[in-house]
A and B are shown apart, each in its own frame.
Chain A
């Protein structure tokens, strides 16, 4: 148990480091907290912003508590959220305003205010500078290629099953939940237990060379209706030879459909292509 407590403490330190990330923002918070310890005169605010917050901070690092939290009632993936109980922004901004209040000279006050704002900006990281925050491609805020693929795959009021490349896995069921998949996001996060997804099929799809016959065999076992393949993927063999007919192409992807699927002819008619069931 002692070893586990020490391990929990080590994990807590790592979590705090990861939480703090880049810059000195958490240092500003700690400095603001120290300021309040010495200079806050309002006893009510002292109780909440100083004593209570310090107690939360101490509790977070307290090895026995972190051991209980990580191993028994929370887990190591969510324990960092305990840090959210400390209102870092409120404390830091409260202190800045209190200090500003004490500066009588208007010019100095403005300078101090600008300096504080600049420090937060320089040491922080603007959310809109994050390369992952980009202009929305559509009202769904999903990749347009996923929507294009799902529009072809989906059949009104019917359940269909599709295998898609890794980059589409997370999004396709956010657009159309009637598209089922034999594997899902659990394939993308290595630390997770697989929740029942077909890892064999995922690996066959993501292999350097996709072996058409092998993938089709796996798909037929799972009664998959569609395979969506990157146009850049190398394919060993031909899907059409094994019964999956190409029904459409969208930007960067080809979509194949099992010609034995009960929806094959309906889909071909919808897309205005000739069904090749007998080929």
Chain B
């Protein structure tokens, strides 16, 4: 039963939720990968919007979990209701790789095997990271009903609100999954979130590949193959995003470097080509909240990156309005930034 629920949350729920924004995206962006990645990002963003008031007001996690569950189910239902028409289109766009030549198919097979191998290793291999003493313990404390960021995870003593970490509630999100599945959050973080987020990372990169090599069926799997090698051999220091991707996948900072930044890059590629419809704009807004959701560093880095990108895209496309549109999408970062400084 636990595994049944977990599969539902980690695989099916993001697909249902993701249909909602993808329904309002450019037709050529619609694919199963885009639905899955948008679904996760929307789940993260909605969690951030909903949970922060509960955390700041020091309310009960159990109440917040019930409300979020209802909210996300409503979004899932809305996604299915409004997006059922595009399911076939998404599947067809994804299966278009079947029309690729034999070499491309072999490349795709190698890429998929490599990703499956990495997921397998993430499930069956361990890396004892010191920061888990904070993040994973926070998840467990939250799951056990000890409030959100109100106990020192190192000692277990009561403390005032831990502002530095409280505005980036990835551990609380994992506690929510733990609450629904009844699984111990440490098993969940290390054994299941890690592999699934690795898959998600490559799903986002595959969308980037499609943007970079539009029209080329062979180049996308080739790009992903080299990217797999780059990631697998990216453990050149403790500080690279690649190292974080394998050793701390479930920690917010790893998610920032490996999910938010690639997603942001993808959205900037959409923007520079003028391929932003209602769905893409909405997701850029959500992405700003997701950056804060993952790490407090993201609260500051997201607007800096978007401002730089906005400036360049505005000049390139000779449309000053882009700057204002991008600034509007940074609203969540700005709000959380102000809140962070205020609470600090």
Q: Interface residues, chain A, CB within 8 Å of chain B?
A: 15, 18-23, 25-26, 43-45, 47-48, 51-52, 55-56, 59, 69, 73-74, 78, 80-85, 87-90, 92-94, 96-97, 100-101, 113, 116-117, 120-121, 123-130, 132-137, 139-143, 159, 169-171, 173-186, 188-189, 195-197
Question: Closest residue to A187 on the B side, CB-wise?
Answer: B154
- Given A56-B305, A124-B230, A84-B154 contact (CB < 8 Å): no
> B186 at the A/B interface (Cβ < 8 Å)?
yes
* Docked complex Cα distance between A73 and B338 (Å): 12
Question: Closest residue to B132 on the A side, CB-wise?
Answer: A174
Nearest 4 pairs of A and B residues by beta carbon = A184-B154, A21-B237, A124-B233, A141-B190
Residue numbers in B under 8 Å from A73 (CB-CB): 300
- Given A56-B308, A74-B300, A185-B130, A89-B137 contact (CB < 8 Å): no
Question: Closest residue to A19 on the B side, CB-wise?
Answer: B239
Q: Which of B249-278 contact A (CB under 8 A)?
A: 253, 256-257, 261-262, 265, 268-269, 272-273
B223 touches A19 (CB 8 A): no
B308 touches A127 (CB 8 A): no
Residue numbers in A under 8 Å from B239 (CB-CB): 15, 18-19, 21, 80, 83
Q: Which label, helix, strand, loop or mixed, suits the secondary structure of the B interface?
A: helix
> B324 at the A/B interface (Cβ < 8 Å)?
no
24 CB < 8 A contacts A-B = A18-B238, A19-B239, A47-B272, A47-B316, A83-B239, A87-B261, A87-B262, A88-B230, A89-B227, A90-B262, A93-B223, A93-B226, A116-B226, A120-B230, A127-B242, A128-B121, A128-B125, A137-B126, A141-B127, A142-B126, A173-B137, A174-B133, A177-B156, A184-B154
Additional A-B contacts beyond A81-B257, A127-B247, A135-B124 (7; CB < 8 A): A21-B238, A48-B265, A74-B297, A89-B231, A120-B233, A177-B141, A183-B154
> B187 at the A/B interface (Cβ < 8 Å)?
yes
A84 touches B134 (CB 8 A): no
* Docked complex Cα distance between A195 and B134 (Å): 13
A117 touches B226 (CB 8 A): yes
> B105 at the A/B interface (Cβ < 8 Å)?
no
B152 touches A196 (CB 8 A): yes
- Given A20-B236, A184-B155, A48-B308 contact (CB < 8 Å): no
Contact of A81 among B123, B128, B265, B297 (CB under 8 A): B297
A133 touches B140 (CB 8 A): no
> B19 at the A/B interface (Cβ < 8 Å)?
no
* Docked complex Cα distance between A142 and B132 (Å): 10
B257 touches A84 (CB 8 A): yes
B186 touches A175 (CB 8 A): yes
- Given A100-B222, A174-B140, A177-B156, A124-B234 contact (CB < 8 Å): yes
- Given A43-B316, A47-B272, A130-B235, A188-B126 contact (CB < 8 Å): no
Tell me which of B30-38, B39-47, B83-91, B205-213 binds A.
B205-213
A153 to chain B minimum Cβ distance, whole angstroms, is 13
* Docked complex Cα distance between A175 and B185 (Å): 9
A41 to chain B minimum Cβ distance, whole angstroms, is 13
Residue numbers in A under 8 Å from B146 (CB-CB): 177
> B232 at the A/B interface (Cβ < 8 Å)?
yes
> B150 at the A/B interface (Cβ < 8 Å)?
no
